[in-house]
Structure 1
Amino acid sequence: MIKTFFKRLLLGLLVILIAAAAFATHEWKAEKPFMFRAFLDRTLIQFAFESPETLTSLGFLESLGIKGHNAKLDDNSPQSTDELYEKLPKIKEVLLSYDDESLSESDQLSKEITLYLLEFGEQSEPFRYHNYPVNQLFGVQNGYPSFMEAQHQVHSVEDAENYLARLEAVRVKFAQALAGIQLREEKGILPPRFVVDRVLDEMTTFVATPAQENILYTSLKTKLDDAADVNEQDKSRLLASAERNIVDYVYPAYDLFIEYFERIKPRTGEDAGFWRLPDGDKAYQAALKFFTTTDYTADEIHQIGLSEVARIQAEILAILANEGFDTSQGFSQAIEALAADERFYYEDSDEGRAQILKDYQKILDEIEVGIDSAFRIRPKAGMEVVRIPEFKEKTSPGAYYQQPAIDGSRPGRFFANLYDIKATPTYSMRTLAYHEGIPGHHFQIAISMELEGLPFIRKISPFTAYTEGWALYTEQLAWELGFQENPFDNIGRLQAELFRAVRLVVDTGIHAKRWTREQAIDYMKANTGMAQSDVVSEIERYIVMPGQATAYKVGMMKILELREQAKAVLGDRFDLRDFHDVVLKNGAVPLDILERLVQQYIEST
């Protein structure tokens, strides 16, 4: 978990720092730089230089003529993770050596947030193997080809030779990953059987594909065809080498995994929760703490979820009854009747999908010019709606947000999935647009990136309860501001909140209360009205990502609680714009720190 966190932090970091020559020689080499911010930013840069894949993704060294890292892959060995954990105490020691009295208020907060993350790294070390590195959602088996296709650029023969070198290096990378998986097996940590079935299906299909039809070959061919500086003779030679490397190195690497998972499959079972693992209850509590940034127990989160499910369903049923729907048979039947109503869907055609994008943009343009009463701070970066590329729509989520480019060359983007027209009822569109776009993720992420004078760890810190809590909060905020006056739009909002409340129940049900996968599927299906296939994929996501799905609702509820506290104390002096300034101007923070910041705002006001 901690290793993944550091990799996420690195993205977007180096371009500005190196290009601007931000550090003097002393600040780069000294054990303790004079400047506190230099210490924080330098630490992340040093981690970046140990990750050739991160350097490739950032793409800044190539402009300096440095390309050697593009021939290498990250060290995936358990030893590399050992080394990371060994570095944390030294980083913490240097961090604590900066006296609070010598730091500004902002730097003191940066120190506190960094310390929070370092201490979580220390606390989580005993549970570092409580995960399934290869699963149906993510892992080296699908991350590697995706990385090669999306991140490895080919504009010259040298670039292509580096690509070929990475095709050879994959066997070492997979062997290193397998060593980590086998360590987990020795510790009694095996994935549920459905995970093994999913990844075996994925990998056997991958290796059964003729090399010239494999994405690693076709992607290179496309890049070479677009590379003006590569002649036809070199293209033929390079593609022939790629085909050989796929057969000689890539497929044998996947065979390592296939053989392993086929061997362990008879020893796996249907139980899916963390409770079945050694110290699984402690590992799950650590995951809840990381994702929610609270000390809530699984029982507390479960009960919150049950209470919220009942409240939200009652509100939805009241609206449906008022709109003439039959609610006498209960929630499940009533919500399915709504979903079956054809008046809420676009035409299943290219024209219908184009209209969806136009309507999404209209929704965002409308709220952007209509929320001056709620926001003083605004992102400078623009916002646009685009379709998720068709080649990956089928396996992509319903929507996601992509942050704007650091250099301002690309606006923030709300990607909408238009694969299944039935997945976009008109009454859900406003809520989704507010969550992913304005004033949800676009405001929070773009503003955070634009904050001046903050170290990068503050701009891109990984506090899910804050980031997703904010986006879910803005769904309700938009309704409060009058942007969802249509009662069916309000049902769309409540359905989205209900979905997050159900997550509290099923995540804790699976991992703490010993629910079976089937129990969780049945509960989510009955209490959301979602399609069976969507429910199955969601439940299977929670099984391999324990605790993550609980962060959304916990974060939203905390922001609402803090807003109500401020209103109650300040009365007529409460200004919603001031409250949002406090929440947005400090970047992502743990919820207890957010609470302290709001209390300070209340006291100062």
Structure 2
Amino acid sequence: MIKIIFKWVSILLLTILIFGGALASHEWYANKPFFFRSYLDRTMIKVAFDSPETLTSLGFLESIGIKGHNAELDDSSQKKSDELFHLMKHVKLGIENYSEEELNDSENLSREIALYLLNFGINSEQFRYHNYPVNQLFGIQNDYPSFMDAQHQVNVVEDAENYISRLSKVKLKFEQSLEGLKIREEKGIIPPLFVIERVLDEMTRFVEQPIEENILYSSLKTKIDDSDEISSKQQSAILAKVATQMQESVHPAYQILIEYFTNLKRKASTDDGFWRLPLGEQAYAASLKFFTTTDYTPEQIHQMGLTEVARIQSEILAILASQGYSTEQGFTQSIEILKAQEAFYYPDTDAGRAQILADYQTILDEISIGLDPAFRIQPKAGMEVRRIPKFKEKTAPGAYYQQPSIDGSRPGLFFANLYDIKATPKYSMRTLAYHEGIPGHHFQIAIGMELEGMPLFRRMSPFTAYTEGWALYAEYLAWELGFENDPFDNIGRLQAELFRAVRLVVDTGLHHKRWTREQSIQYMLANTGMALSDVTSEIERYIVMPGQATSYKVGMMKILSLREKAKAALGKQFTLRDFHDVVLKNGAVPLHILERLVDQYIERLQKITKK
């Protein structure tokens, strides 16, 4: 939880209006600048240039020829974490110097959202170590190679030299990360045994594979092969340096964590929920609040999930019956019969996997040209489909989305997991593409990044209930708009929604009701019809990311309820285009703020009618 807070509060404090023009001396140095945005801008600019990885990810300095940051890595030390908490408190005081009366509506909304994030970050300091920063899904051991592969662009020799420089500095970064792991160990916050076993297996395989096959080597080789600016002689020299750094810096860095986790295994247990940690129940409640932006209790969320699971399963069985399937044996067996049909799967070959990626792209291309009736605003950034890198796909989720760069040089990316071919039935593909791509994450995130005149933190705010709620709503919307006319595609959509409803049950089951990992796996298997490999990785995800999985369904239900509220209030005045403008043009926001924005939209149109 705190890692996500750090990431996004850093952006909040780092990057607002980097593109806003020269700031006057007063605006840069005064305790209270004349303009509210100036205060936010200068703080974010100062810290942004202390985060080279953020600068690379944002990708705007390269377009003006500044690349030095691409040779550096972020400071991952505990001292830097302490500085961020201190900075949050300082910035909060600065923001509070501006009263609501002296700001316009847009500025007040920015002020409210900024304070919401800052207050949560400050109040969560007591839980800053309640996480597992190295786990089977994310952590420096796979974030680092993924970052180098997906975000470090290489077009000329200087870019490659910067890449090599980053390889040479990874050992220090791993040592800094170890500081925090040892503090957690002292506090009794130790990952479950399976987490340690997973990361040890991942890191051991990473260092044992031939250097030429390692993603840090092969990725750079592909990039320089694709460059017209790097000669064959230069390529050979670059790759020789990479091989040296792999041996002298990268492998020793991984050995540091391999040794640590090997020794930590003897302290680990097979209990999995947050309830087992010191202050674990309070930390879980805080996590639920952060991810859902609501005050729902774990018990409320659990019961909400049970109700939704029953409703959605009933709808799926009705469709199966209409297609001639027997449903007397109950939900689980009915889904197993459906899953067993080979016609729904691609060949378990390289060619079959390539066809999956091509078909995903076709699905996205098709819907992208048919959304004008529902959307007035659409993203300018393009989107591509890629396979999740093989080195981490075994424990990765079914898919994920990576935002485009701000300058447009890198498109939005939809990463699909092709490890288990049986986890990608054809009838599930449309829904997954709509969720991760269009009109889901790509629409919402890319549009948010492209909004004019809005502070950058509001273009990229970390409100998971909004962002994931929108993506799940997008699945429903695509079906409403006629892009899933095949009844089996609709089953795929309902299965995806069922999956998110089950998450409400198992997340709270694990961390509140003290379910075991095995108990949670069995519940999800029995109630979703998903492949065992997917269920296992999902349950293990909820264990290391408590609360996050509940945000999807909570957010979707809120967006749908607000849409129905607007329809009921406005009647014929209601249009999807208007509603989606309200939801998308303000960036990601907490759900209570989204409700207020919708209420204001309803009030505006009602006033027009009265005139």
Contact 1:7/1:54 (CA < 8 Å) preserved in 2? Answer: no
Seen in structure 2, the aligned counterparts of structure 1 residues 286 and 478 have a Cα distance that, compared at 3 Å, is same
1:454 aligns with 2:454: yes
Counterpart amino acid of 1:578? Answer: D
For structure 2, the 5+ residue unaligned runs are 607-611
Deviation of the 1:542 alpha carbon: 0.7
Distance 1:392 1:22, change over 3 A: farther
CA contact (8 A) 1:137 1:541 kept: yes
Match of 1:494 in 2: 494
Question: Shift of the alpha carbon at 1:53?
Answer: 2.2
Looking at structure 1, the residues matched to 468 and 367 of structure 2 have their Cα atoms a distance apart, in angstroms, of 20
Q: Helix, strand or coil for the counterpart of 1:400?
A: strand
Q: Which moved more, 1:56-65 or 1:315-324?
A: 56-65
- Report how far residue 602 of structure 1 moved: 2.5
After TM superposition, give the deviation of residue 373 of structure 1 in Å.
4.5
Determine the C-alpha separation between the residues in 2 that align with 1:141 and 1:155: 26
Which residue number in structure 1 is paired with residue 288 of structure 2?
A: 288
Matched AA of 1:78:
Q
5 Å-filtered alignment, 1:35-434, equals 35-62=35-62, 66-153=66-153, 159-211=159-211, 214-220=214-220, 239-346=239-346, 360=360, 363-364=363-364, 367-368=367-368, 370-375=370-375, 377-381=376-380, 383-384=382-383, 386-388=385-387, 391=390, 394-395=393-394, 397-408=397-408, 412-417=412-417, 420-434=420-434
User: Is the CA contact 1:174–1:253 (under 8 Å) kept in the aligned structure 2?
Assistant: yes
CA contact (8 A) 1:390 1:419 kept: no
Counterparts of 1:366 and 1:338 in 2: how far apart (Å)?
Answer: 26
Larger deviation, residues 393-402 vs 132-141: 393-402
Distance 1:321 1:45, change over 3 A: same
What whole-Å deviation, never above 9, does each CA across 1:467-486 have from its counterpart, x for those lacking one? 11111112223333444333
DSSP 3-state at the match of 2:169: helix
**SS in structure 2 at match of 1:600:** helix
CA contact (8 A) 1:510 1:516 kept: yes
Amino acid at match of 1:541: R
- What residue is the counterpart of 2:609 in the other structure? none
Task: Describe the superposition over 1:368-407 as per-residue Cα deviations: whole angstroms up to 9, x where unpaired.
Answer: 55555543x2214265553436756944543334444434
Change (3 A) 1:227 1:577: closer
Conserved 8 A contact 1:9-1:44: no
Between the aligned partners of 1:584 and 1:431, the Cα distance in structure 2 is 20
Q: Quick one: distance in 1 between partners of 2:362 and 2:209?
A: 43
SS of structure 2 residue aligned to 1:406: coil
Offset, 1:410 = 5.7
Amino acid corresponding to residue 148 of structure 1 in structure 2: M
Worse-matched range after superposition: 442-451 or 215-224: 215-224
- CA-to-partner distance for each residue in 1:107-126, whole Å, 9 max, x for gaps? 11111000100000011110
What code does the residue aligned with 2:456 have?
A: F
1:32 aligns with 32
Normalising by the residue count of structure 1, what TM-score does the alignment of the two structures yield? 0.90
Q: CA deviation at 1:59?
A: 4.5
TM-score norm. by structure 2 comes to: 0.89
Q: Deviation per CA, 1:2-59: give whole Å up to 9, x if none.
A: 5544535777999995566343343333333322223223322222111122233344
Further displaced range: 293-302 or 257-266: 257-266
Q: In the aligned structure 2, how far is the partner of 1:59 from the partner of 1:575?
A: 36
3-state DSSP class of the match of 2:377? coil
Structure 1 distance, partners of 2:513, 2:201, is 30
**1:566-581 matched pairs, under 5 angstroms:** 566-581=566-581
Deviates more, 1:418-427 or 1:585-594: 418-427
Per-residue deviation, residues 301-359 of structure 1 (Å, max 9, x unmatched) = 11111111111111111221222212111111000111112343456667766665665
Partner-residue secondary structure (3-state), 1:462: coil
Cα 1:171–1:406 shift into 2, 3 Å: closer
Paired residue secondary structure (1:524): helix
8 Å Cα contact 1:11-1:57 kept in structure 2: no
Q: How many Å apart are 1:98 and its aligned residue?
A: 1.3
Distance in 2 (CA, whole Å) between partners of 1:485 and 1:229 is 48
Q: Distance in 2 between matches of 1:159 and 1:442?
A: 28
CA distance in 2, matches of 1:152, 1:363: 29
CA deviation string 1:283-303 (max 9, x = no partner) = 001110111000111111111
- Residue type matched to 2:447 in 1? I
CA–CA distance in structure 1, aligned partners of residues 208 and 431 of structure 2:
42
SS at match of 1:386: strand
Say if 1:47 and 1:4 are closer, same or farther in 2 by CA, change over 3 A. farther
1:66-102: per-residue Cα shift (whole Å, max 9, x none)?
5443443211111110110011111011111112222
Cα pair 2:498 2:528 within 8 Å, conserved: yes
Structure-1 separation of matches of 2:234 and 2:358: 44
- CA–CA distance in 2 between the matches of 1:355 and 1:221? 25
Report SS of the residue matched to 1:251.
helix
The C-alpha deviation readout for 1:586-605, integer Å capped at 9, x for no partner, is 11100011111122223332
Match of 1:558 in 2: 558
Deviations 1:399-430 (A, max 9, x none): 33444443445655545455655433332233
Aligned-pair CA distance for 1:487 = 2.4
Higher mean C-alpha deviation, range 124-133 or range 156-165: 156-165
Counterpart of 1:532 in structure 2 is 532
1:563 CA displacement:
2.0
User: Hey, what's the Cα distance between the residues in 1 that align with 2:158 and 2:374?
Assistant: 53
Q: Aligned partners of 2:153 and 2:509: how far apart in 1? A: 44
Give, in whole Å, the separation in 1 of the partners of 2:430 and 2:34.
49
Deviations along 1:555-602, one digit per CA (max 9) or x if unpaired, are 011112222222333344443433222212211100011111122223
How many Å separate the matches in 2 of 1:221 and 1:355? 25
Deviates most, 411-420 or 66-75: 411-420
The Cα of 1:551 is off from its aligned counterpart by 0.3
Tell me, in whole angstroms, the C-alpha distance in 2 between the residues paired with 1:234 and 1:293: 52
What is the CA–CA distance in structure 1 between the aligned matches of 2:362 and 2:538, rounded to whole Å?
30
- Which runs of no fewer than 5 residues in structure 1 stay unpaired? none
Q: Say whether 1:511 aligns with 2:525.
A: no
Q: Could you say if the C-alpha distance between residues 181 and 524 of structure 1 is closer, same or farther in structure 2, counting changes exceeding 3 Å?
A: same
SS at match of 1:38: helix
Tell me if the contact between 2:384 and 2:411 (Cα under 8 Å) persists in the aligned partners.
no
